[in-house]
Amino acid sequence: MLLATLLAGCAGSSVFVPYPSTAQTYRQALDTGKPESAVKAIGSKTKSADGMLYLLERARVQQLEGHAEDSKADFDAAIARFQAQDEQATISASALAASGLSLYSNDNARPYQGRTYERVFVHQYQALNYLAQGDVQGALVEVRRANQVQVEALARKANAVDDARDKSEREAKAKGLDPDSYDKFFNEMDLAAGRVKSSFQNAATFYLSGLIYEATGQTNDAYIDYRKALEIAPDNPYLQKDVVRTGLRAGMDDARKLAQQLKLPTNPAAVAPAAEQGDLVVYLEEGLAPIKQPVTIPIYTRNTANYVSFPVYRSVPAPQAYTLSVDGAAHETTPLTDTRALAVRTLKDEVWDLLVHSFLRLIAKQDLQRNVQRNNQKSNEALVLGLATMLFTVATDQADLRSWLTLPGSAQVLRLPLAEGEHHIALPGRPGQAPITVEIRKGKPTLLHLTVLPGSIYSRVYPL
């Protein structure tokens, strides 16, 4: 009965089918320029145990497809689920059941709840949906929410990762597990994880809010958010100029000092576009988020070697700048957000708790097998149930590979002052790709959102 209950509880989640296998269908659909096929593939999965994840995937695809209203509805549903998680004061019976189920099976049995860096992207993309509908104030609300998620996470996790590791190590050592002996299985992620300051800070969201503030004449607020973005991506030359420009206009001494440090003019008029110009701001996303891979690690319990599957990231490349042709002249983007590194850092921060949880799960599975054998005296029945339990143990010993896989690999920016009128933007080396026409207005920024995949390019223009 217990075994049947456990198996039934796993239905609708990613316990038996690794999530990347499912996600590959709509990642390929996006790459081949068929987002409608991706939406169809997701279908009613938004009502499954992993419904949160499917909502995020579908909302992202619909935005790239140009269906802002549908995307907005799905992001709203995902945001409501996030808020319900935050407001949950006590552990519900269903959460307890999921936790117990996960102890017997694996982490895939828990409904997907999202990671902090994913929550930031939700509000950032929702802001773009509002911009697509011409609702600048709605967009500002969402970028404020995105920024607040980061502020709260930073306060909450100031020392939480180190504290969690210390707690995990103490618990593991008390039960005979030495976490340090497992470093070698996860060291491959160190380089990518080290590319970011934390697992959730996203310069692109602060940049977008700064851009909207600047476009609506709120120079002080624009300077503050550009400055926050620069703290995360200090080497970005476009950000440096944005901080100097808005800071000088707002009369900030720090901006004057930064201008001198960067050898930029300290006269506000000298760093602003000419009177007959506007700004082209290209927000370019390249590639897709990395996919977790399973790695088998031996863990010893009760003098028995158990081979457990863990998630890892392998071969995670750093962002590479893109060259865009603007009216025939070449200009380079500069990375703002390394989503791949955010994903790796998130997993790296979770490794120690995963080790301890796996150890406890092994103990629980061994106890389950012993109880089945002890409670069934007839040899044939005990043999059948024992075999079934062993098969269940093997079948459910899968790494949790879930994550939001239609997110970009990185986000980059290019900002240029251009004369009022039509301009043509192209990506060299993409034969058959028609140039994108953008209308620049005097004294105003125009945002061009590009998503570049190996087989397709998606674009959207937002006059601000």
pLDDT number for residue 429 = 85
Tell me the backbone φ, ψ of residue 171, rounded to 5 degrees: -65, -40
Report, as an integer, the average pLDDT of 219-232: 97
Q: Identify the weakest region by mean pLDDT among 131-145, 218-232, 314-328, 377-391.
A: 377-391
Distance separating alpha carbons of residues 195 and 410, to the nearest angstrom: 12
Say yes or no to pLDDT of 11 above 80: no
Kindly state whether residue 266 falls inside one of the protein's structural domains.
no
Q: Which of 94, 114, 134 is the last residue of a domain?
A: 114
pLDDT number for residue 230 = 97
Say yes or no to pLDDT of 93 above 50: no
User: Which two structure tokens, joined as six digits, stand for 151?
Assistant: 């502020």
Say yes or no to pLDDT of 89 above 50: no
- Clarify whether residues 36 and 181 are in a common domain: no
Kindly state whether residue 126 falls inside one of the protein's structural domains.
no
- Clarify whether residues 352 and 426 are in a common domain: yes
pLDDT number for residue 8 = 47
SS (H, E, C) the chain: CHHHHHHHHCCCCCCCCCHHHHHHHHHHHHHCCCHHHHHHHHHHHHHCCCHHHHHHHHHHHHHHHCCHHHHHHHHHHHHHHHHHHHHCCCCCHHHHHHHHHHHHCCHHHCCCCCCHHHHHHHHHHHHHHHHHCCCHHHHHHHHHHHHHHHHHHHHHCCCHHHHHHHHHHHHHHHCCCCHHHHHHHHHHHHHHHCCCCCCCCCHHHHHHHHHHHHHCCCHHHHHHHHHHHHHHCCCCHHHHHHHHHHHHHCCCHHHHHHHHHHCCCCCHHHHCCCCCEEEEEEEEEECCCCCCEEEEEEEEECCEEEEEEEEECCCCCCCCCCEEEECCEEEECEEEECHHHHHHHHHHHHHHHHHHHHHHHHHHHHHHHHHHHHCCCCHHHHHHHHHHHHHHHHHHCCCCCCCCCCCCCEEEEEEEEEECEEEEEECCCCCCCCCEEEEECCCCEEEEEEEECCCCEEEEEEEC
Residues 148-181: pLDDT tens digits?
A: 999 888 887 655 555 656 666 676 677 677 777 8
Distance separating alpha carbons of residues 392 and 359, to the nearest angstrom: 17
Name the band, by pLDDT with cuts 50, 70 and 90, for residue 370.
confident
Report, as an integer, the average pLDDT of 6-19: 61
Report, as an integer, the average pLDDT of 440-449: 96
Share of the chain above pLDDT 90, in %: 64
- Clarify whether residues 82 and 177 are in a common domain: no
Q: Which residues pair with 414 in a beta bridge?
A: 282
- Clarify whether residues 50 and 190 are in a common domain: no
Are the C-beta atoms of residues 426 and 433 closer than 8 Å to each other?
yes
- Clarify whether residues 306 and 441 are in a common domain: yes
Task: Report how far apart, in Å, the C-alpha atoms of 321 and of each of 30, 303, 334 are.
Answer: 22, 52, 6
Are the C-beta atoms of residues 185 and 294 closer than 8 Å to each other?
no
User: Which two structure tokens, joined as six digits, stand for 459?
Assistant: 């674009």
Kindly state whether residue 43 falls inside one of the protein's structural domains.
yes
Stronger pLDDT, 274 or 221, i.e. the higher one? 221
- Clarify whether residues 183 and 40 are in a common domain: no
- Clarify whether residues 29 and 107 are in a common domain: yes
Please state the separation of Cα 240 from the chain's center in Å.
Answer: 25
Please state the separation of Cα 27 from the chain's center in Å.
Answer: 15
Report, as an integer, the average pLDDT of 19-28: 94
- Clarify whether residues 190 and 101 are in a common domain: no
pLDDT number for residue 357 = 80
Kindly state whether residue 212 falls inside one of the protein's structural domains.
no
Number of domains in the chain: 2
Kindly state whether residue 132 falls inside one of the protein's structural domains.
no
Are the C-beta atoms of residues 313 and 151 closer than 8 Å to each other?
no
Are the C-beta atoms of residues 35 and 65 closer than 8 Å to each other?
yes
- Clarify whether residues 106 and 185 are in a common domain: no
Kindly state whether residue 123 falls inside one of the protein's structural domains.
no
pLDDT number for residue 381 = 57
Distance separating alpha carbons of residues 365 and 255, to the nearest angstrom: 60
- Clarify whether residues 110 and 162 are in a common domain: no
Kindly state whether residue 153 falls inside one of the protein's structural domains.
no
Report, as an integer, the average pLDDT of 328-335: 97
Report, as an integer, the average pLDDT of 2-26: 68
Q: Which of 45, 79, 114 is the last residue of a domain?
A: 114
pLDDT number for residue 96 = 45
Nearest to 107 by CA among 381, 340, 354, 308: 354
Question: Mean pLDDT, the chain, as a whole number?
Answer: 87
pLDDT number for residue 49 = 85
Kindly state whether residue 380 falls inside one of the protein's structural domains.
no
- Clarify whether residues 322 and 455 are in a common domain: yes
pLDDT number for residue 17 = 81
pLDDT number for residue 90 = 44
User: Which two structure tokens, joined as six digits, stand for 441?
Assistant: 């207005």
Say yes or no to pLDDT of 9 above 80: no
Q: What is the pTM of this model?
A: 0.89
- Clarify whether residues 78 and 173 are in a common domain: no
Q: CA angle at residue 400 from 72 to 306, to 5 degrees?
A: 175
Stronger pLDDT, 281 or 161, i.e. the higher one? 281
Helix axes 203-215, 136-156, angle to 10 degrees: 150
Residues 45-76: pLDDT tens digits?
A: 999 889 999 999 999 999 999 999 999 999 99
Distance separating alpha carbons of residues 48 and 64, to the nearest angstrom: 24
Q: Which range in 375-389, 393-407, 412-426 is most confidently predicted, on average pLDDT?
A: 412-426
Q: CA angle at residue 203 from 30 to 403, to 5 degrees?
A: 40
Stronger pLDDT, 190 or 104, i.e. the higher one? 190
Which residues form the domain of 106?
Answer: 1-114
